[in-house]
């Protein structure tokens, strides 16, 4: 595609303003543009028209929590993490993901110091928004698949995080157990730095969670997983979805794993009905994403995949998902009976809103990056586009094979 080439995508339905609209999509220089000035001021016609075959065009999916995939573990393959991110980025576009936050689980300080400087935004696939550091400032009682010997307390305020991570320049999200930051001072400092604080891997009660949110936290890490279960006298972090102690105008977002394994369909429905505006679909995917049963790594721990589920090796403790994000969108829609547009927005608009990047990502608004996916009516990806260029396209035969995958049986079981 040459510079200034004007593309017109026709015969499509766009996800705009919370609905599907019959409009053409206009793209120039990697951006979605308003066609009116082109017609009336520039008096130009499109250089190229692309017939979309009545496809849905949606913003590209945004993945906020992914530990690796396709044999790559971001936390374990320390010396080759840049190559690993590149490999995963190229594979994610097959699932409609156009931007993501590589996630590093609780690790020794030397791991962070090696990984963080290697990360940058540009790849030949899905673009990197910044790292999600999930730990090490979490509760050992809710460690999940995180190694307990690497978990740390915050004993010197923000200096503890600087000492641990060394470099925060490539970091977008940090998961903290709010009880480790009881006054919220670290949360405030990170928020002022433009880093999104997520609450998770925690035994915090509701009041401790509210302090975190009042200090600037905007996200909850994989709701229901690695936190105290809901209790009617103290609902814990889950209670933040219905708290009346949230600062005015501040939205609470929460990641949720709709892979057919981690979260029961009824729990998905509860979250959806309680706080629909904050729901973000995440995969929490691990190195086994895209692979079969067998042994793999998650950071410092060995894990194994058995019958399509990932466990810490030798246990029955779940430790991440192997369902791609487009599958999670389909499972979520089936479980909740929500609209097609809402299911899409849970993987596009909502994560972009959480990170405050809706001017460029997560919408098809004029001026946004031309990162989008063409979808079938049953939400299978037909093609993926980044900066107005097609980076992946499925054939009819490949789409039929995708629909026959065993993982799609999870959608049918719900």
Q: Which neighbouring-strand residues pair with 375?
A: 56, 381
The verdict on whether residue 319 carries a ligand-binding annotation is: yes
Share of the chain above pLDDT 90, in %: 81
Band (411; pLDDT cuts 50, 70, 90): low
How confident is the model at residue 187, as a pLDDT? Answer: 98
The verdict on whether residue 225 carries a ligand-binding annotation is: yes
How confident is the model at residue 288, as a pLDDT? Answer: 87
Instruction: Check if the beta carbon of residue 311 is closer than 8 Å to that of residue 318.
Output: yes
Torsion of CA 72, 75, 80, 86, to 10 degrees: 50
pLDDT at residue 364 tops 80: yes
- Are residues 348 and 237 part of one domain? yes
- Are residues 325 and 267 part of one domain? yes
- Are residues 157 and 40 part of one domain? no
Band (144; pLDDT cuts 50, 70, 90): confident
Q: Is residue 113 part of a domain?
A: yes
**In angstroms, rounded to a whole number, what is the distance separating the alpha carbons of residues 150 and 361?**
34
Secondary structure E strands in 115-170: 127-128, 131-134
- Are residues 373 and 341 part of one domain? no
How confident is the model at residue 412, as a pLDDT? Answer: 59
Instruction: Establish how many alpha carbons lie within 13 A of residue 304's alpha carbon, considering only the half-sphere containing its beta carbon.
Output: 7
- Are residues 205 and 257 part of one domain? yes
| pLDDT, tens only, 296-333 | 777 777 888 887 788 888 888 877 789 999 999 999 99
Helices H / strands E in the chain, number of each: 12, 22
Residue ending a domain, among 318, 337, 354, is 354
Q: Is residue 345 part of a domain?
A: yes
CA 378 to chain centre: 21
281: its two tokens: 């679909």
- Are residues 110 and 199 part of one domain? yes
344: its two tokens: 């899409």
The verdict on whether residue 320 carries a ligand-binding annotation is: yes
- State the average pLDDT over residues 381-393: 98
How confident is the model at residue 336, as a pLDDT? Answer: 97
- Are residues 369 and 272 part of one domain? no
How confident is the model at residue 303, as a pLDDT? Answer: 81
**In angstroms, rounded to a whole number, what is the distance separating the alpha carbons of residues 25 and 13?**
9
**In angstroms, rounded to a whole number, what is the distance separating the alpha carbons of residues 89 and 325?**
13
Q: For the domain that residue 251 is a member of, what is the CATH number?
A: 3.20.20.140
How confident is the model at residue 366, as a pLDDT? Answer: 98
Band (191; pLDDT cuts 50, 70, 90): very high
- Are residues 215 and 275 part of one domain? yes
| pLDDT, tens only, 199-211 | 999 999 999 999 9
- State the average pLDDT over residues 156-169: 96
- Are residues 149 and 207 part of one domain? yes
pLDDT at residue 409 tops 70: no
Q: For the chain, what is the domain count? A: 2
pLDDT at residue 57 tops 70: yes
- State the average pLDDT over residues 207-218: 98
Buried b vs exposed e over 132-170: b needs ≥16 C-beta within 10 Å? bbbbbbbbeebbbbbbeebbbebeeebebbeebbeebeb
Dmax (CA) of the chain? 67
Query: Domain span at residue 273?
Result: 61-354
Q: Is residue 311 part of a domain?
A: yes
Active site residues: 284
Specify the range with the lowest mean pLDDT, choosing from 80-89, 295-304, 368-377: 295-304
- Are residues 375 and 276 part of one domain? no
| pLDDT, tens only, 233-274 | 999 999 999 999 999 999 999 999 999 888 999 999 999 999
**In angstroms, rounded to a whole number, what is the distance separating the alpha carbons of residues 358 and 235?**
31
Specify the range with the lowest mean pLDDT, choosing from 38-47, 152-161, 390-399: 38-47
373: its two tokens: 């996916």
- Are residues 318 and 288 part of one domain? yes
Instruction: Check if the beta carbon of residue 205 is closer than 8 Å to that of residue 245.
Output: no
* 162 contact partners, CB below 8 Å, separation of at least 6: 168
Residue ending a domain, among 333, 354, 375, is 354
Share of the chain above pLDDT 70, in %: 98
Q: For the domain that residue 41 is a member of, what is the CATH number?
A: 2.30.40.10
- Are residues 16 and 114 part of one domain? no
The verdict on whether residue 91 carries a ligand-binding annotation is: no
Q: What average pLDDT does the chain have?
A: 94
Strands 381-386 and 219-220: unpaired
Q: Please name the residue that has the structure tokens 């460029």.
A: 360
Q: Kindly list the distances between the CA atom of residue 267 and the CA atoms of 254, 270, 274, in Å, as whole numbers in the listed order.
A: 13, 5, 10
Residue ending a domain, among 354, 370, 398, is 354
Q: Specify the pTM.
A: 0.95
How confident is the model at residue 80, as a pLDDT? Answer: 93
pLDDT at residue 4 tops 90: no
The verdict on whether residue 134 carries a ligand-binding annotation is: yes
Q: Kindly list the distances between the CA atom of residue 398 and the CA atoms of 257, 382, 383, 395, 405, in Å, as whole numbers in the listed order.
A: 26, 10, 12, 5, 11
Instruction: Check if the beta carbon of residue 312 is closer than 8 Å to that of residue 303.
Output: yes
Q: Is residue 1 part of a domain?
A: no
Q: pLDDT higher for 148 or 306?
A: 148
């Amino acid at each position: 595609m040459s510079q200034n080439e004007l593309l017109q995508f026709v015969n499509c339905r766009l996800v705009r303003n919370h609905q599907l609209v019959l409009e053409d999509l206009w793209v120039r220089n990697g951006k979605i543009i308003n066609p009116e000035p082109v017609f009336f001021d520039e008096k130009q016609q499109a250089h190229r028209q692309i017939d979309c075959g009545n496809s849905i065009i949606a913003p590209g999916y945004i993945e906020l929590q992914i530990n690796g995939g396709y044999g790559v573990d971001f936390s374990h393959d320390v010396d080759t993490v840049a190559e690993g991110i590149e490999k995963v980025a190229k594979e994610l576009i097959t699932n409609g993901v156009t931007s993501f936050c590589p996630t590093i689980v609780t690790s020794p300080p030397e791991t962070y110091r090696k990984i963080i400087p290697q990360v940058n935004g540009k790849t030949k696939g899905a673009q990197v928004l910044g790292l999600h550091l999930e730990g090490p400032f979490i509760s050992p009682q809710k460690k999940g698949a995180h190694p307990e010997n690497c978990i740390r307390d915050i004993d010197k305020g923000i200096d503890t995080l600087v000492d641990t991570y060394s470099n925060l320049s490539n970091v977008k999200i940090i998961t903290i157990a709010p009880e480790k930051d009881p006054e919220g001072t670290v949360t405030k400092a990170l928020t002022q730095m433009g880093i999104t604080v997520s609450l998770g891997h925690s035994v915090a009660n509701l009041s401790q969670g509210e302090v975190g949110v009042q200090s600037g936290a905007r996200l909850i890490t994989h709701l229901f997983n690695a936190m105290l279960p809901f209790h009617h006298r103290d609902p814990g972090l889950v209670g933040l979805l219905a708290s009346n102690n949230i600062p005015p105008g501040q939205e609470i977002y929460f990641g949720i794993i709709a892979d057919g394994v981690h979260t029961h369909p009824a729990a998905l429905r509860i979250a959806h009905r309680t706080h629909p505006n904050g729901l973000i679909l995440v995969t929490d995917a691990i190195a086994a994403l895209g692979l079969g049963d067998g042994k793999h790594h998650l950071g410092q721990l060995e894990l194994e995949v058995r019958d399509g589920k990932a466990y810490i090796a030798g246990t029955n403790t779940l430790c991440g998902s192997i369902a791609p994000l487009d599958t999670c969108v389909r499972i979520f829609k089936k479980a909740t009976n929500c609209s097609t547009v809402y299911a899409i927005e849970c993987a596009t608009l909502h994560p972009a809103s959480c990170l405050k990047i809706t001017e460029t990502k997560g919408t098809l608004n004029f001026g946004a990056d031309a990162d989008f996916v063409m979808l079938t009516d049953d939400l299978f990806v037909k093609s993926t586009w980044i900066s107005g260029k097609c980076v992946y396209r499925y054939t009819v035969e490949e789409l039929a094979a995708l629909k026959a995958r065993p993982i799609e049986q999870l959608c049918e079981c719900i």
